[in-house]
Structure 1
Amino acid sequence: MDILVTLGRTLGFSMTAGVNLYATVGILGLAARYGWVSLPAQFKVFDHDAIIYSALALFVIEFVADKIPWVDTLWDSVHTAIRPLGGALIAVSTLGEASPLMQGLVALLGGGLAASSHLTKAGARVTVNASPEPFSNWILSLSEDVFVLGLAMLALRYPVLALAVVAIAFVVSLVALSMVIGSLKRLFARRRRALLGDQPA
Structure 2
Amino acid sequence: MDNLESIFIGLALSAACGFRIFVPPLVMSVAAIYGHLPLSSGFEWMGTYPALYAFGIATIIEIAAYYIPWVDNLLDTVATPTAIAFGTWIAAALFPNTDPLLKWTMAVLAGGGSAGIIQALTSFTRLSSTALTVGVGNSAIATIESIGAFALSGLAIFVPLLAIGLVVGLLFFSFSKGLQIFAIK
Confirm or deny a common fold (TM above 0.5).
yes
Are residues 1:103 and 2:124 paired?
A: no
- Alignment map for 1:147-162 (pairs within 5 Å): 147-162=148-163
Q: Per-residue displacement from partner, 1:41-67 (whole Å, max 9, x unpaired)?
A: 436341133322222112111111112
Contact residue 130 and residue 136 of structure 2 kept, 8 A = no
Q: Provide the TM-score with structure 2 as the length reference.
A: 0.86
Over the matched positions of the two proteins, sequence identity in percent amounts to: 28
- Alignment map for 1:108-123 (pairs within 5 Å): 108-123=109-124
Q: Which secondary structure state, in structure 1, belongs to the residue aligned with residue 80 of structure 2? A: coil
Question: In 2, Cα distance between the equivalents of 1:94 and 1:4?
Answer: 10
Question: In 2, Cα distance between the equivalents of 1:176 and 1:58?
Answer: 31
Name the counterpart of 2:33. 33
Is the alpha carbon distance of 1:164 and 1:128 closer, same or farther for their aligned partners in structure 2, counting shifts above 3 Å?
same
Q: Which secondary structure state, in structure 1, belongs to the residue aligned with residue 133 of structure 2? A: coil
RMSD: 2.1
Question: In 1, Cα distance between the equivalents of 2:177 and 2:126?
Answer: 12
Letter in 2 for 1:95: F
Q: Provide the TM-score with structure 1 as the length reference.
A: 0.80
Q: Per-residue displacement from partner, 1:3-24 (whole Å, max 9, x unpaired)?
A: 4312210100110112211111
Contact residue 27 and residue 152 of structure 1 kept, 8 A = yes
From the CA coordinates, give the structure whose radius of gyration is larger: 1
Please report how far the alpha carbon of residue 114 of structure 1 lies from its aligned counterpart in structure 2 after TM superposition: 0.8
Please report how far the alpha carbon of residue 26 of structure 1 lies from its aligned counterpart in structure 2 after TM superposition: 0.8
- Alignment map for 1:41-120 (pairs within 5 Å): 41-42=39-40, 44-107=44-107, 108-120=109-121
Is the alpha carbon distance of 1:119 and 1:134 closer, same or farther for their aligned partners in structure 2, counting shifts above 3 Å?
closer
Question: In 2, Cα distance between the equivalents of 1:64 and 1:148?
Answer: 14
Question: In 1, Cα distance between the equivalents of 2:169 and 2:90?
Answer: 21
Is the alpha carbon distance of 1:139 and 1:69 closer, same or farther for their aligned partners in structure 2, counting shifts above 3 Å?
same
Letter in 1 for 2:96: G
Is the alpha carbon distance of 1:44 and 1:100 closer, same or farther for their aligned partners in structure 2, counting shifts above 3 Å?
closer
Letter in 2 for 1:125: R
Gaps of 5+ in 1: 183-201
Greater fraction helix: 1
Name the counterpart of 2:167. 166
Equivalent residues, number: 179
Question: In 1, Cα distance between the equivalents of 2:162 and 2:45?
Answer: 24
Contact residue 39 and residue 94 of structure 2 kept, 8 A = no
- Alignment map for 1:126-141 (pairs within 5 Å): 126-132=127-133, 135-141=136-142
Gaps of 5+ in 2: none
Q: Which secondary structure state, in structure 2, belongs to the residue aligned with residue 130 of structure 1? A: helix
Q: Per-residue displacement from partner, 1:159-184 (whole Å, max 9, x unpaired)?
A: 122222211111112234556x66xx
Please report how far the alpha carbon of residue 127 of structure 1 lies from its aligned counterpart in structure 2 after TM superposition: 1.1
Question: In 2, Cα distance between the equivalents of 1:162 and 1:176?
Answer: 21
